[in-house]
Structure 1
């Protein structure tokens, strides 16, 4: 077998591949050049510079696996690869240690004023008194998000003799006990932590979760660290708290908009903050790690072994694929909508198939629902290979029901997401076998294409509700692509479903929620999570 490496990846991974196969390294190939040569290769290893288009995949007559030396796979046409039965693998965990250690470095930097003292000495000063620090010993570290990075932070901070507490509604109590840390709610963490560090994905729940209100709940002299997602933390509210002294120090590696420009940097001139330009994964070892990890997965795939880092599914028999392949995106998006509607940790996901889908193999479609529901809430990449196991590890029951009886729609799929607080129901259909539609949410009849962002707004049935919402969105430059209004089961109330093309900033959401008569406002990101 032959492997083509089309991007500059660490030689360690290339050496590993060469122990098993003939390997050619050809860098900076454009689409035409890649199309011309790809037909002779069984495997392809890329980074972000190589675009593996449908045209490339169509020419790859021998290709069995594509390895992405990194996390994101936006440069690879997953749909085309899946249709050809080509396995696509990535390296989702290789930056874990890098991000963990960068967090520790940031914690130490703001604890002992390392950058400030360095700059002072380099400018010719000898000023010891201005840079007196504190000790980590016996302080309380609060970790928001106890996944693969947060859990490693916990171990390292425990080694520094800190008390560690954590908030993560998606981690079972048993896991907290294994880590030797206490599980608390968010308010308790904010009020009792000397240090607060964030390690969450960007979701409905985490977007803007640390704003001025949450910062006000923190104890005086707290130190705040964010090496997760920029939009989790309101950096402008943090800057104000640093100026007032309520927050003693902060370390920030990620920002709401990157690159961070001088005009949008609220920390300029401040001496009690350390900022870095998104360096969490920037280590030599991490770059070697992604190369070696993806090489290992490519070798496993070519040997016909299970590949846990696959981002698509194994080949499907042609007769089954013809029936189910139009539903893949719809199923995943229904899972995404379900988790956005969930009122707490998911306990059960049920998928009911009617019509033609009830007569065929649908396991991979149910997996697509799980992938959609789990990817927005987890740092770990969830794919068609590992989604069932991830759901099991999160104690989420999965049920599949097939029926020819339907109260409303034939050839429909119903996804039910249950939590301790209740259940939400989403019904989806394909019109003309191509056009995906959501036709019911809970007891409400709707009709929208699950693309972009969707605002669901139950409200009092009174004049000018549509006008007020439209005005606020228009003033913010946000285009409305569709809108529906229907009655709810509560007398005197309606629900509005508004489709918009772009994300809605937190300040605009606050204005919308403040409209008199709005009972709730839920922004759902219907876009697929491919990294």
Structure 2
């Protein structure tokens, strides 16, 4: 089957080359699609590659019947409706590392140009032929304080370069600790402290609901008189109207902007102020950055389309490689357990509890939880449910999902238990990985078993009485259903018990019905894993 990829924004050919060379992948490059054209054509594509130009709206997503992944060649994904992609099970990946160096260098270039008024002096010299040295007296950066709001990849690189320029650096980030700041040789500060101490302030946060207009009128009031502002991150982090007012009032002595609330820029009001310098979103516009982000995102898309895992998922939790290596062997088991437990009751599931025991309890198991929920929901939703939209779909169906962790494993190195709650009670299944034997179901409700979670299975609840196993075997033989393995678990002699059978082909419904009519049989469930 041929997989189709649409590239709707300009991407480096070096990045696209591995996709073009892959078997069963067809790449279409069309960078002049209108919104209407994109909506009309997106239904035939399995993957979409964009930069910041293409607007991937909910309407686009709702018409993308085959879309599996969207790759953003860059960091910001504010041109992609993440809520819609998650609802429809479409994975979004980006390339957060490829343009880090370029964006940091551009920030420093803007900082120095702002401090020395280089663009204004150049314009006066070239366009007006003015040899004017007095009007463009700048300030040194040495011993000034640079306040950084957001200390992720790019913010950290800016901090390192600023120290080389002998600037004092104070930074705020929700995940920054005093210990980490000390190791970096910078000062740790609250947001207010950064605003109050900075001679220059640069922002490096993503554009989120929480960060939109984080630099607003109130923020400007907390700053020093004569502060200078840099934004090479995302338009909208700074309230442009508030910035305009702050420059007019002389609170802000200058601003260097690479990004704007509306792009391409339509309102040039800010740029009419002589204190403002600007570039048209050039932070990642270097040959190296464009190649790097294209290579990174295309590799991720290729990995996903060929059954691998994404390195940089946006709408899935991302884990360090060493953690992923530890939990990856449990992916098949977690989905199988979710699928198995969903068949133990025909009632609506109200709650699912996933218990991680042993070494698993010390790891980030969020991907396994998603995988378990996916397996559980597939009974009802089929292939529509995947790792991306499983939590959303569970919530939409009113199912609460909880994780629990404990060091107690009851004899196993690791144990994964999935429990569902319905209106009338609880059902559960537990599994583990056995060295050399792979995934195993080791408990169904309170009965101990040892079954490989694969193929055609029949779960029988019965009374522990002589002849029960024989009657089941005889009836299945009558309908030419061969038993491959059988496990029996019981609570006590003569009490309730279960049989777990694996069979060579699934018993048809009329066979299951006749099994239910046998003496001492309480219930029979056919399970395909």
What's the TM-score once normalised by structure 2's chain length?
0.53
Q: How many residues align?
A: 342
| Distance verdict in 2 for CA 1:88–1:319, change over 3 Å | farther
1:59-458 paired onto structure 2 within 5 Å: 67-70=71-74, 72=77, 74=80, 78=85, 82=89, 89-122=93-126, 123-203=128-208, 205-262=210-267, 265-301=268-304, 305-311=308-314, 317=335, 320=338, 355-358=350-353, 363-364=366-367, 400=404
Structure 1 Cα separation of the partners of residues 152 and 135 of structure 2: 37
Q: Deviations over 1:15-68 (max 9, x none)?
A: 2345654654333396777766x6xxxx7462265978577655x8xxx86645
| Distance verdict in 2 for CA 1:4–1:69, change over 3 Å | farther
Q: Deviations over 1:279-300 (max 9, x none)?
A: 3333333332221002322444
Any conservation in 2 of the 1:81–1:88 contact (CA below 8 Å)? no
| Distance verdict in 2 for CA 1:90–1:245, change over 3 Å | closer
- Tell me the CA shift for residue 363 of structure 1: 4.8
Structure 2 Cα separation of the partners of residues 79 and 149 of structure 1: 27
2:6 equivalent in structure 1: 6
Q: Pick from 47, 63, 77: which aligns with 2:50?
A: 47
Structure 2 Cα separation of the partners of residues 201 and 34 of structure 1: 27
| Distance verdict in 2 for CA 1:53–1:240, change over 3 Å | closer
Q: Deviations over 1:346-391 (max 9, x none)?
A: xxxxxxxx944237999559669xxxxxxxxxxxxxx979x9xxxx
What SS class does the counterpart of residue 230 from structure 1 fall into? Answer: coil
| Distance verdict in 2 for CA 1:165–1:53, change over 3 Å | closer
CA RMSD of aligned residues (A): 4.5
Structure 2 Cα separation of the partners of residues 78 and 126 of structure 1: 56
1:16 equivalent in structure 2: 18
Q: Which has the higher contact order (CA 8 A, sep 6+)?
A: 1
Any conservation in 2 of the 1:143–1:199 contact (CA below 8 Å)? yes
- Tell me the CA shift for residue 160 of structure 1: 0.9
What SS class does the counterpart of residue 236 from structure 2 fall into? Answer: helix
Structure 2 Cα separation of the partners of residues 87 and 187 of structure 1: 37
Structure 2 Cα separation of the partners of residues 204 and 298 of structure 1: 28
2:436 equivalent in structure 1: none
What's the TM-score once normalised by structure 1's chain length?
0.53
- Give the unaligned 5+ runs of structure 2: 317-330, 343-348, 357-364, 372-386, 392-401, 406-417, 427-529
1:27 equivalent in structure 2: 29
What SS class does the counterpart of residue 148 from structure 2 fall into? Answer: strand
Any conservation in 2 of the 1:242–1:248 contact (CA below 8 Å)? yes
Any conservation in 2 of the 1:87–1:310 contact (CA below 8 Å)? yes
Any conservation in 1 of the 2:176–2:188 contact (CA below 8 Å)? no
Structure 2 Cα separation of the partners of residues 87 and 204 of structure 1: 21
Any conservation in 1 of the 2:49–2:71 contact (CA below 8 Å)? yes
Q: Deviations over 1:494-529 (max 9, x none)?
A: xxxxxxxxxxxxxxxxxxxxxxxxxxxxxxxxxxxx
Structure 1 Cα separation of the partners of residues 223 and 369 of structure 2: 42
Structure 1 Cα separation of the partners of residues 16 and 340 of structure 2: 37
Structure 2 Cα separation of the partners of residues 50 and 205 of structure 1: 22
- Tell me the CA shift for residue 274 of structure 1: 1.0
- Tell me the CA shift for residue 302 of structure 1: 5.8
| Distance verdict in 2 for CA 1:275–1:366, change over 3 Å | farther
- Tell me the CA shift for residue 150 of structure 1: 0.9
- Tell me the CA shift for residue 260 of structure 1: 4.0
Structure 1 Cα separation of the partners of residues 5 and 419 of structure 2: 48
What SS class does the counterpart of residue 110 from structure 1 fall into? Answer: helix
What SS class does the counterpart of residue 357 from structure 1 fall into? Answer: strand
Greater mean deviation of Cα atoms: 173-182 or 237-246? 237-246
| Distance verdict in 2 for CA 1:241–1:279, change over 3 Å | same
Pair member with larger Rg: 2
